[in-house]
């Protein structure tokens, strides 16, 4: 049987290679991923949790793209996953990972149906990156990419959804150069037939390019429940409409000055809800206006902006977090003799032990203030106003992807008091190619990232907030032999101070506050070897040590050491 | 370029016109949740002597440093009647602390001294405040009072008591649910569940009740003392209606609605139900009567309160008090 399958695959592959007109294409990914974990905790604090946890899997994502005609493509991807140790079919799962029909209608309108990736602007539909990575080193990035791949968290910050999208454009000879239209409709939730009505999410953009110097657009995203899909007549709606504009003008050769802005409004409605806490509607607006200067010859961009996001600005497509910090990680879910839930750490995401969002949420998902208190919901975080300054240098010989971002924000409305919190956040990072300093051919790269955040509020004793969070992210990758890299990395997060975190109800209204008093450091150190067969095929083994050290006596100190073996292949 | 800059600055200024929310804030007040507790203005009752038929109500005033739970407990020195008023507001005033002289449940307050205790359950180490009020006039009940047994037996009442049972009005024992008197049944009836009954009939043609039964509630206080517990004690009410208006009740042609109430606990209980509900049994089925089958309170000419108890348990003893009809809602002591 195995021989027959191999022969069939060979024939099919040969057909692809020698065929005059491509009828189908095979792509996909495969990996083997093994974990050996050990919980490090004082015996007096925890004598009940099993210390070691070993597991792993192998999987194959087999993608087949069919081309019935030159304008149509049918993409399917199947996943076969086998948990290590699940012999003879035990632990094997077989899933459809992707099914998409795409094509061009009338040589004008592009369409996609099925599994589609969608992204608009940071205030409408945007999959904001999670906490715990500032220009991180390869030793962490290569494992994070596995999670991204599994969760469809693409580099362009798009969300994977199920539905349909179309786009088409018109070109003009005068006044404006082109207009592009994009539209989509997705199904966010099927009805349960009892209490949850079916939920759809749709929207679109119109982008008008007047010239190379001026372009603007209108964006709209809308959530709406379908009535009559349950007996009850409740209906949730959320509409976000924005306008964005980009204008630039050459001041002199290789230097341009421009403005970049987006402004808009949101409106959420809770129709026929019986819960007395449900507001009839919540409306607010935002604006974000920045002056942008490009020094093209030096590849430097300077952005100085001011933004004001209303306290009631609700844009689920842009505010949904990837990680829900109120939940517990999959590994060592409970620790200590009191069997308390272990809080999610940033390293749990890298190891694939967090429950990640796969659809947008109308509720603001709980966040971890120690990691990010200023913009936990990305650029669209509500109740923030202030200035920001971004300097980005995209490329140089020895330094690449260098950036410094400084943001100074306040709340636009107090929470629990009329006094407002103030935020300072500084992010910086660069890739240093040390080999270029010495003229070495083999790459020796140092990745550096820093994030500092300060939250403060003055007032009475019970109003005061002072929280500092410092995160250092560093990594080295050194090709010490042909295609063989030594990888080391460290992440150090030090958090000290106090704050209050909003406890919201399902309608996003603040009902209470959680008093948080932090004084801890979370450190992760990793090292490993990676062999690159080619750009798409790597084999690596690494050891990672993570620990949490609290300065107060009531919190539990612990650590997790982890050995992983990863074989990764894309084709 | 200057034009562009001007346009941009104008846009920025327009955008910057967001209403300043400097006074408002989201969520509960941090002062209420985590601020220190103190009494800014002493909490006082506005009258030391309460004549409720004249004054109607009394109230408390005071101010706290924060919104927090407070409880004002009022206890009758003689009756043991209890009333608690609670709130969370920082300012205590007539808006949130008015007392109409009523109790939470039976017994009600009489002419007596009432002890007042004010506490703040969520504030650790907070003081407990004490005060007293002298009640010189009890609250006047809204409704149609049938009897509170304060004026003795009516001329048209009739009683039934087993030979070993004493059924009578007791006064000044300090055990009444309301006022000074109540009706008591006491006796050992080893051969029968029926202990005794009192049939209350008006001295005029009827009780003067309104015609509509749908918003009229019948209420009575009942206190099993002996022979209580699960399945041992129940009360039967017989409501006799003079449908033809001849001034007498004819069981063969007119409605007698019989309604049962079973009791498990001791202490004063409030029996209260809508008069229109007496046409149904516990399963919701229409009861059989010999008249038109419709509860018509305007035609009610007799209420018989029939006390029954388990014959195997020895002595049976119970009190009844304060029969009253109220409109729209059950009676509040």
Q: Is B7 on the interface with A (CB under 8 A)?
A: no
The shortest CB-CB distance from B25 to any of A287, A415, A462 is to: A415
Question: Which chain A residues are within 8 Å of B22, Cβ to Cβ?
Answer: 418
Q: Which of residues 9-28 of B touch A (CB under 8 A)?
A: 11-12, 15-16, 18, 21-28
Q: Which residues contact A38 (CB under 8 A, 6 or more apart)?
A: A51, A52, A53, A560, A561, A562
Report d(CA B135, CA B270) in Å as an integer: 23
Residue B22 has pLDDT above 70, yes or no: yes
Model pLDDT, residue A338: 85
Report d(CA A464, CA A455) in Å as an integer: 10
Question: Which chain A residues are within 8 Å of B26, Cβ to Cβ?
Answer: 311, 383, 413-416, 502, 509-510
Q: Give the Å distances, CA to CA, from A47 to A52, A501, A559.
A: 13, 32, 15
Model pLDDT, residue B10: 63
Q: How far is B182 from chain A (nearest CA, A)?
A: 44
The residue segments making up the domain with residue A12 are: 2-570
CB contact (8 A) between residue A249 and residue B4:
yes
Q: Which helix H or strand E contains B55, and what residues bound it?
A: helix B52-55
Residue B15 has pLDDT above 70, yes or no: no
Single out the residue of A311, A323, A335 nearest to residue A368, CA to CA: A323
Q: Is A308 on the interface with B (CB under 8 A)?
A: yes
The shortest CB-CB distance from A418 to any of B4, B15, B22 is to: B22
Averaged pLDDT score across all residues of chain B: 90
Compare all CA atoms of chain A with the CA of B29 and give the residue at the minimum distance.
A416
Report d(CA A247, CA A261) in Å as an integer: 9
CB contact (8 A) between residue A460 and residue B35:
yes
Single out the residue of B163, B161, B182 nearest to residue B171, CA to CA: B182
CB contact (8 A) between residue B31 and residue A311:
no
Q: Is B1 on the interface with A (CB under 8 A)?
A: yes
Compare all CA atoms of chain A with the CA of B14 and give the residue at the minimum distance.
A287
- At B333, list the tokens: 């002591």
Report d(CA A470, CA A423) in Å as an integer: 13
Compare all CA atoms of chain B with the CA of A249 and give the residue at the minimum distance.
B1
- At B169, list the tokens: 């009005």
Q: Give the Å distances, CA to CA, from B240 to B261, B284, B296.
A: 17, 20, 10
- At A394, list the tokens: 């995209």
CB contact (8 A) between residue B26 and residue A509:
yes
Chain A, chain B: beta-carbon pairs less than 8 Å apart: 78
Model pLDDT, residue A18: 46
The CATH number of the structural domain formed by B144-327 is 2.60.120.430
Supply φ then ψ for residue A508, to 5 degrees: 70, 10
Q: How far is B327 from chain A (nearest CA, A)?
A: 28
Q: How far is B24 from chain A (nearest CA, A)?
A: 6
Q: Which helix H or strand E contains B84, and what residues bound it?
A: strand B82-87
The shortest CB-CB distance from B18 to any of A412, A462, A511 is to: A412
Q: Is A460 on the interface with B (CB under 8 A)?
A: yes
- At B148, the pLDDT band (50, 70, 90 cuts) reads very high
Q: Is A413 on the interface with B (CB under 8 A)?
A: yes
Report d(CA A456, CA A10) in Å as an integer: 65
Question: Which chain B residues are within 8 Å of A383, Cβ to Cβ?
Answer: 26
Q: Is B245 on the interface with A (CB under 8 A)?
A: no
Model pLDDT, residue B200: 95
Q: Which helix H or strand E contains A3, and what residues bound it?
A: helix A2-18
Report d(CA A275, CA A554) in Å as an integer: 38
Give chain A's domain count. Answer: 1
Supply φ then ψ for residue A107, to 5 degrees: 55, 20
Q: Give the Å distances, CA to CA, from B164 to B2, B15, B200.
A: 111, 91, 22
Residues of chain B with CATH 2.60.40.10: 30-137
Q: How far is B67 from chain A (nearest CA, A)?
A: 13
CB contact (8 A) between residue B30 and residue A417:
yes
Strand partners, A288: A262, A307
Q: How far is B35 from chain A (nearest CA, A)?
A: 6
Q: Which of residues 15-44 of A touch B (CB under 8 A)?
A: none
* Ranges of residues in chain A whose predicted pLDDT is under 70: 1-21
Query: pLDDT digit string (tens) for B37-60?
Result: 999 999 999 999 999 999 889 999
CB contact (8 A) between residue B21 and residue A412:
yes
Query: pLDDT digit string (tens) for A211-269?
Result: 999 999 999 999 999 988 888 888 999 999 999 999 999 988 889 999 999 999 999 99
Q: Give the Å distances, CA to CA, from A164 to A110, A155, A191, A225, A458.
A: 11, 21, 19, 18, 50
Compare all CA atoms of chain B with the CA of A310 and give the residue at the minimum distance.
B18
Report d(CA B108, CA B79) in Å as an integer: 7
Q: Is A249 on the interface with B (CB under 8 A)?
A: yes
Residues of chain B with CATH 2.60.120.430: 144-327
- Ordered DSSP codes for A87-119: GGGTTEEEEEEEEEEEEEETTTEEEEEEEEEE-
Q: Is A68 on the interface with B (CB under 8 A)?
A: no
Residue B172 has pLDDT above 90, yes or no: no
Q: Is A418 on the interface with B (CB under 8 A)?
A: yes
Local structure of B174: helix, strand or coil: coil
CB contact (8 A) between residue A511 and residue B27:
yes
Single out the residue of B220, B186, B230, B180 nearest to residue B200, CA to CA: B220
Report d(CA B110, CA B177) in Å as an integer: 9
CB contact (8 A) between residue A515 and residue B15:
no
Single out the residue of A516, A525, A471 nearest to residue A494, CA to CA: A471
Compare all CA atoms of chain A with the CA of B36 and give the residue at the minimum distance.
A462
The CATH number of the structural domain formed by B30-137 is 2.60.40.10
Domain of A363, CATH number, reads: 2.40.170
Question: Which chain A residues are within 8 Å of B31, Cβ to Cβ?
Answer: 417, 460, 462-463
For testing contact with chain A, the best of B15, B23, B24, B88 (most A CBs within 10 A): B15
CB contact (8 A) between residue B28 and residue A502:
no
Residues A256/A250, Cβ–Cβ less than 8 Å = yes
Strand partners, A260: A246, A290
Model pLDDT, residue A10: 47
Q: How far is B96 from chain A (nearest CA, A)?
A: 22
Report d(CA B301, CA B287) in Å as an integer: 19
Residues B272/B322, Cβ–Cβ less than 8 Å = no
């Amino acid at each position: 049987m195995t021989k027959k399958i191999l022969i069939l695959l060979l024939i099919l592959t040969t057909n692809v290679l020698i065929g005059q007109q491509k009828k189908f294409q095979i792509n996909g990914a495969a990996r083997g991923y093994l974990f050996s974990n050990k919980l490090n905790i004082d015996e007096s604090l925890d004598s009940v949790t099993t210390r070691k946890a070993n597991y792993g899997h192998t999987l194959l994502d087999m993608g087949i793209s069919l081309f019935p005609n030159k304008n149509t493509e049918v993409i399917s991807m199947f996943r076969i996953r086998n948990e290590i140790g699940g012999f003879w079919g035990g632990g094997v799962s077989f899933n459809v990972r992707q099914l998409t029909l795409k094509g061009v209608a009338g040589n004008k309108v592009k369409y996609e149906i099925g599994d589609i990736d969608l992204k608009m602007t940071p205030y409408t539909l945007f999959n904001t990156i999670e906490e715990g990575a500032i220009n991180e080193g390869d030793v962490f990035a290569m494992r994070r990419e596995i999670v991204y791949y599994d969760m469809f968290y693409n580099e362009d910050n798009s969300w994977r959804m199920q539905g349909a999208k179309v786009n088409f454009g018109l070109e003009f000879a005068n006044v404006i150069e082109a207009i592009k239209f994009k539209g989509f409709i997705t199904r966010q939730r099927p009805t349960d037939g009892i209490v949850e009505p079916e939920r759809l999410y749709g929207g679109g953009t119109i982008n008008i390019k007047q010239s190379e110097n001026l372009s603007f657009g209108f964006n709209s995203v809308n959530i709406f429940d379908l009535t009559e899909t349950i007996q009850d007549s409740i209906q949730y709606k959320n509409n976000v409409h924005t306008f964005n504009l980009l204008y630039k003008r050459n001041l002199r050769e290789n230097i341009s000055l421009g403005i970049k802005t987006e402004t808009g409004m949101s409106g959420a409605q809770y129709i026929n809800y019986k819960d007395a806490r449900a507001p009839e509607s919540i409306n607010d607006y935002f604006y974000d206006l920045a002056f942008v200067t490009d020094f093209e010859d030096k590849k430097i961009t300077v952005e100085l902006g001011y933004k004001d996001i209303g306290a009631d600005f609700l844009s689920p497509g842009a505010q949904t977090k990837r990680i829900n910090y109120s939940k517990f990680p999959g590994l060592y879910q409970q620790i200590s003799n009191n069997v308390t839930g272990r809080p999610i750490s940033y390293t749990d995401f890298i190891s694939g032990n967090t429950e990640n969002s796969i659809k947008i949420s109308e509720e603001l998902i709980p966040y971890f203030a120690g990691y990010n208190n200023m913009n936990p919901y990305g650029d669209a975080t509500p109740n923030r106003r202030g200035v920001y300054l971004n300097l980005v240098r995209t490329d140089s010989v020895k330094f690449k992807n260098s950036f410094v971002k400084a943001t100074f924000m306040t709340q636009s409305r107090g929470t629990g008091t009329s006094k407002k919190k103030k935020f300072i956040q500084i992010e910086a990072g660069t890739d240093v190619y040390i080999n270029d300093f010495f003229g070495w051919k083999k790459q020796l790269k140092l990745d550096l990232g820093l994030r500092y955040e300060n939250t403060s509020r003055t007032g009475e004793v019970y109003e005061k907030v002072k929280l500092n969070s410092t995160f250092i992210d560093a990594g080295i990758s050194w090709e010490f032999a042909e295609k063989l890299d030594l990888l080391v990395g460290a992440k150090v997060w030090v958090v000290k101070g106090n704050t209050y975190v909003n406890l919201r109800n399902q309608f996003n209204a603040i009902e209470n506050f959680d008093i948080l008093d932090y004084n801890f450091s979370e450190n992760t150190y990793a090292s490993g070897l990676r062999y690159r067969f080619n750009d798409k095929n790597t084999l690596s083994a690494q050891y990672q040590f993570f620990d949490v050290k609290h300065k107060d006596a009531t919190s539990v100190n612990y650590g997790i050491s982890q050995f992983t073996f990863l074989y990764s292949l894309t084709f | 370029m200057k034009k562009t800059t001007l346009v941009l600055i104008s846009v920025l200024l327009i955008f910057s016109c967001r209403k300043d929310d400097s006074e408002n804030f989201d969520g509960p007040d941090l002062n209420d949740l985590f601020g220190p507790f103190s009494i800014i203005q002493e909490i006082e009752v506005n009258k030391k002597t309460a004549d409720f038929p004249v004054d109607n109500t009394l109230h408390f005033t005071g101010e706290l440093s924060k919104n927090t739970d407070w409880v004002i407990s009022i206890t009758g020195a003689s009756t043991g009647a209890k009333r608690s008023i609670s709130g969370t507001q920082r300012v205590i005033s007539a808006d949130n602390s008015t007392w109409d002289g009523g109790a939470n449940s039976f017994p009600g307050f009489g002419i007596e001294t009432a002890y007042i205790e004010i506490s703040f359950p969520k504030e650790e180490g907070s003081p407990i405040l004490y005060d007293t009020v002298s009640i010189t006039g009890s609250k006047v009940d809204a409704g149609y009072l049938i009897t509170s047994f304060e004026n003795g037996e009516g001329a048209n009442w009739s009683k039934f008591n087993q030979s070993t049972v004493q059924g009578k009005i007791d006064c000044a024992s300090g055990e009444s649910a309301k006022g000074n008197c109540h009706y008591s049944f006491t006796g050992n009836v080893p051969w029968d569940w029926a202990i005794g009954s009192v049939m209350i009939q008006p001295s005029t043609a009827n009780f003067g009740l309104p015609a509509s039964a749908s918003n009229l509630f019948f209420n009575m206080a009942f206190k099993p003392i002996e022979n209580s517990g699960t399945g041992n004690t129940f009360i039967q009410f017989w409501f006799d209606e003079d449908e033809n208006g001849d001034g007498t009740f004819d069981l063969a042609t007119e409605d007698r609605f019989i309604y049962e109430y079973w009791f498990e606990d001791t202490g004063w209980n409030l029996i209260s139900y809508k008069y229109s509900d007496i046409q149904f049994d516990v399963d919701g089925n229409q009861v059989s009567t010999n008249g038109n089958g419709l509860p018509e309170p305007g035609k009610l000419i007799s209420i018989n309160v029939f006390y029954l108890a388990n014959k195997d348990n020895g002595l049976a003893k119970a009190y009844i008090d304060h029969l009253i009809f109220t409109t729209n809602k059950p009676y509040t002591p």
